[in-house]
Structures are given as structure tokens and as C-alpha cells.
């Protein structure tokens, strides 16, 4: 729904449940790491994932619960390796490109039109 911003659908309250499965946390970290802290701290506090789930993940409930939300995020990351796809289409980090060029490349790879802006 392009007329609605999908942020904080849980009314900004904490809807996050600490993950207890170490393997799932490790798998999630490999695909969606917290870039502001070391791995051990990220896995211990889960603050980054808590923030992301409360901001965006609550917008897909009750269709997807928290575990399903993160599973879907990992599946999408595995399906669309964006950096590799961009590189395969000649878009290299550190070089300037138009938003249209990047949008067109993402559309070619995903068959969906992204909404990017600078």
C-alpha cells in the first residue's frame, strides 16, 4: 500500500521476544549483522533486531510472527544478493551512478521496482 508507511505498526511498544535458538541467531547474524557492535554483543543484546522488528516486523503481524518475519528476511537476502547482483550489472561500490540506473538494475534482478531516493 503506497499510501501507508509501514513503520511502528505495534504502536512503538516493545513487541520483541528474545530469541533462544543460538543457531537461528547465528544464521540471522550472518545475513543481518548489527554493524555498530561486535558479534558477541549483538547476539547477546539483540538490540538491533529488536529495533528492526518493532519498527517494521510488527507491520506484517498477524500474518507473520517474529520468527517467521526473520526467516522471511533471511530467505529474501539469500534469494536476492543485492551487492553481487549490482556488481554483475557493472555497479561497483564507491562509484557514482544515477538512482535510475540502480533502480533499473534492481528491477531487472527482482522483477519489482524499488523505491530508492537520495
Per-domain residue ranges of the chain: 22-79, 80-117
Residue with cell 510488527: 58
Task: Please give the chain's pLDDT, 118 residues, in tens.
Answer: 556 778 889 888 999 999 999 999 999 999 999 999 999 999 999 999 999 999 999 999 889 999 999 999 999 888 888 888 899 999 998 899 998 899 899 999 888 888 776 6
pTM, two decimals, is 0.75
C-alpha grid cell for residue 61? Answer: 503481524
Answer yes or no: are the C-beta atoms of 34 and 46 closer than 8 Å: no
First-to-last C-alpha distance (Å) of the chain: 22
Amino acid at each position: 500500500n503506497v499510501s501507508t508507511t509501514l513503520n511502528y505498526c505495534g504502536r512503538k511498544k516493545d513487541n520483541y521476544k528474545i530469541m533462544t535458538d543460538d543457531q537461528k541467531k547465528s544464521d540471522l547474524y550472518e545475513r543481518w549483522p548489527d554493524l555498530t557492535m561486535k558479534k558477541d554483543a549483538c547476539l547477546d543484546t539483540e538490540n538491533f533486531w529488536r529495533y528492526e522488528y518493532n519498527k517494521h516486523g510488527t507491520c506484517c503481524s498477524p500474518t507473520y510472527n517474529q520468527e517467521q518475519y526473520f526467516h522471511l528476511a533471511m530467505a529474501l537476502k539469500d534469494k536476492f544478493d543485492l551487492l553481487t547482483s549490482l556488481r554483475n550489472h557493472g555497479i561497483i561500490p564507491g562509484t557514482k551512478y544515477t538512482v535510475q540506473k540502480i533502480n533499473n538494475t534492481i528491477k531487472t534482478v527482482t522483477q519489482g521496482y524499488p523505491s530508492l531516493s537520495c
